[in-house]
Every structure is written in structure tokens, then in C-alpha cells.
Amino acid sequence: MENKIQYHVDKFVAFLFGKENENDPEQIIYNKLLRLEGDELEVWMNEKVKKYIIFAGFYCEFQGDEFEGIAGPTRFDTWHTIYSLKENSNLMLYDEIYDHSDPECIHELQEMKLKLREWQHPNSRNYDRDLNWRLHILTDYMEMFIMTTSTEDLKSYIIEQVDPVEIR
């Protein structure tokens, strides 16, 4: 199940930094990411890019031209909802991600909830009482993944998602 969730994070990051993002069709953010290194990259990634990906504080801190001159961010939950419903979508529906008929998946789901609660503590979400728990697990996992990845690893990860290397 975690692989399925990570797959969706991969697709979102590829969209967000790729050419299909209507808010950044010229890939301004991605091209800046490719140019920056060292302390400059560290500061930019931690102060702006991670927040851009997870949509944290965007409207308070980075409205309009204050964030690299792009139109604005795309929320993961909005993107997932829209793209999962498209006819030729390569995203999985919730029932494919969270297969309740599979005991292994049920066990993995409990482990995932525990992992997310430990990361979020003390502001843990109660997934058992949450009507949108499937979407919130996806969103929270994406946030945990992005926020806990080092700057250099995140840069490499983004490049890998936008320009994947084909094995021949």
C-alpha cells in the first residue's frame, strides 16, 4: 500500500515541476532548482519549495509574484481528485490503494496510520473518525515524505520524477 501512495506522490511531483502544470508551464521553479546548489539551495528549498509542494502557508507568504512569478500552487488533494477521474488517468482509485479485502493491506494501513501519527504528534489526525481519511492519508503521507527528505535528496528526487532515466 505504501508503494501505491508513493506512486501518487511521484506523479504529483512530476506534474508540479513538469510542463503540464498550467501555473508554471515554462518550468520556472524546476529550472531554478536545477541551477541552485549548496546553502542557496538549502534555504530556497526549506523556505519556499517544500511549502510550495505541500501547500503550506502559500497564501500568507507567497502570493503572486513573490513566488518565482508563477500563477500559484496546486493542492495535492485537488490535483488527485481531478486527475483520478480523467478517462486516461494513470492514478488509482481509493479502492485500488486501500484494498479492504486484502488482510496484508489492512495491516499496512494500520502501520501507515501509526507512522503518520508519530510524525504529526502532537497534532495527530484521527483517521478512524475522518470521513475523508483515504485522501487525508495520501495528503499527509506526501507532506511527511517531502518535509523529512533532505534538500539534496529532494532535489534529486524531483529531477528523477520530471526527467526519468529510461533503462534500455
pLDDT at 88: 84
| CA nearest neighbour of 52 among 86, 28, 36 | 28
Q: CA dist 87 to 106, 156, 167, Å?
A: 28, 31, 28
Give the mean model confidence (pLDDT) for residues 61-65. 58
112 contact partners, CB below 8 Å, separation of at least 6: 1, 2, 5, 137, 141
What was the pLDDT predicted at 86? 85
* Average pLDDT of every residue of the chain: 89
pLDDT, position 124: 84
pLDDT at 69: 75
Give the tens place of pLDDT for each residue, 91-139: 998 999 998 888 999 999 999 999 999 999 888 889 989 899 999 999 9
Q: Are 67 and 52 in contact (CB under 8 A)?
A: yes
Q: How much is the pLDDT for 61?
A: 62
pLDDT of res. 71: 76
- What are the extents of the domains in the chain? 2-162
Interval 62-85 mean pLDDT: 79
Instruction: For residue 8, give the H/E element and its range.
Output: helix 2-17
In tens, the pLDDT along 138-164 reads 999 999 999 999 999 999 999 999 987
Q: What is the pLDDT of residue 9?
A: 97
Average pLDDT of span 40-57: 90
CA within 13 Å, CB half, 43: 3
The set of long-range contacts for 43-46, using a CB threshold of 8 Å and a minimum separation of 24, is 45/151, 45/154, 45/155, 46/151
Per-residue pLDDT tens digits for 49-60:
999 999 876 555
Nearest to 165 by CA among 156, 142, 61: 156
